[in-house]
Amino acid sequence: MTLKELHEECLKCEKCRLRSGATQVVPGEGAEDASIMFIGEGPGKVEDETGRPFVGPAGRFLDELLKSIGLERSQVFIANMVKCRPPGNRDPQQDEMDACRPWLDKQIELIDPEVIVPLGRFAMYKFLPGTTISKEHGRLYSRGGKTYFVMYHPAVALYKGSMRVTLMEDMANLKKFLDGDLKPVSVEDAVSEIIKEKGDGDERSSNEGKDSQIDMFS
Ligand code: URA
């Protein structure tokens, strides 16, 4: 299956309640062979109207962020956790993300990016469940041949201006990684570190912690 075929199928999707409230499905766009894939939350008003991801105010800031490290939209792939706009821009619900998940998983499989950039906590939970974005933003993790780079959602800078700097600074870490000047931490090493921090000398509880933490980084 090609990405184009996948998106044609996706446009017909009615697997969850979001489709009935949306004007159109927004599968995602960008380079089919992109080495970097950005994953947001879900389409907003402008995306719903145009059928394109990140073309509203948050999208304009994402463009700026890309530009700040010398990238154009056409060089990356941009998708969302859910492909239809949640009514009133509410958060996507878990069952909606679950219903939409196969589309995103197939996009990842077909594009096979080297770097996945979850934008905001909903996308972050998919790759690093159980963690907090305030702690993980700007960090790079590796697992199974892929690198995950966690960022705040660009929309946060729209209602909290000081976050612009944080996002810009975080983005600079992605550039450092692309230039070979910053290495990702392996998820396994990060998990060991968490266990060490939590360690209370109780062998049994730390093993329990290890199992659950490793599951968390799915
Ligand atoms: N916010 C998102 O998460 N995705 C979009 O496509 C636009 C805004």
> pTM for the full model?
0.90
Q: Between 211 and 54, where is the model more confident?
A: 54
Name which residue leads in pLDDT, 196 or 153: 153
Q: Residue 200: its pLDDT value, please?
A: 58
Residue 80 Cβ inside 6 Å of ligand 1? The answer reads: yes
Q: How many angstroms separate the CA atoms of 31 and 5, rounded?
A: 15
Locate 138 and state its tokens.
């700007």
- The average confidence (pLDDT) of the chain is 91
Question: Who has greater pLDDT, 29 or 207?
Answer: 29
Residue 207 has pLDDT above 50, yes or no: no
pLDDT exceeds 80 at position 84:
yes
Contact predicate 53/29, CB 8 Å? yes
* Nearest alpha-carbon partner for 150 in 164, 171, 178: 171
CB 86 less than 6 A from any atom of ligand 1: no
CA distance 171 to 26: 25
Closest ligand 1 atom, CA of 53?
A: 6
In DSSP terms, which residues pair with 146 in a beta bridge?
Answer: 143
For the chain, the 3-state helix, strand and coil shares in percent, each to the nearest 5, are 50, 10, 35
Rounded distance from Cα 143 to ligand 1 centre (Å): 26
Instruction: Please say if the pLDDT value at position 210 is more than 60.
Output: no
CB 53 within 8 A of CB 41: no
Decide: 44 in ligand 1 pocket, CB within 6 A: yes
- Quick check: CB of 53 below 6 Å from ligand 1? yes
Closest atom, ligand 1, to C-alpha of 80: 4
- Is beta strand 29-30 parallel, antiparallel or unpaired with respect to 77-80? antiparallel
Q: 123 C-alpha vs ligand 1 centroid, how far in Å?
A: 11
Say if ligand 1 is within 6 A of residue 29 CB: no
Comparing 10-19, 43-52, 184-193, the range with the smallest average pLDDT is 184-193
Judge residue 46's burial from the number of C-beta atoms within 10 Å of its C-beta, 0-12 exposed, 13-18 middle, 19 or more buried.
middle
- Whether residue 194 is predicted with pLDDT greater than 60 in this model: the reply is yes
CA angle centred on 111, ends 34 and 31, rounded to 5° = 35
At residue 197 the predicted structure's pLDDT band, cuts being 50, 70 and 90, is confident
With beta carbons less than 8 A apart as the criterion, state whether 89 and 44 touch: yes
The C-alpha atoms of residue 176 and residue 94 are separated, in whole angstroms, by 34
40 lines ligand 1 (CB under 6 A): yes
Q: How many CB atoms lie within 10 A of CB 181?
A: 9
Does residue 196 surpass a pLDDT of 90? no
User: What structural domains does the chain harbor?
Assistant: 3-183 (3.40.470.10), 185-218 (no CATH)
Is the CB–ligand 1 distance for residue 47 below 6 Å?
yes
CB distance 141 to ligand 1 below 6 Å: no
User: Taking 90 as the threshold, does the pLDDT of residue 189 lie above it?
Assistant: no
Please report which confidence band the pLDDT of residue 211 belongs to, taking 50, 70 and 90 as the band edges: very low
What lies within 8 Å, CB to CB, of 194 at 6+ separation is 209, 213
The ligand 1 atom at the shortest distance from the C-alpha of residue 78 is 6
Nearest to 28 by CA among 6, 60, 58, 57: 6
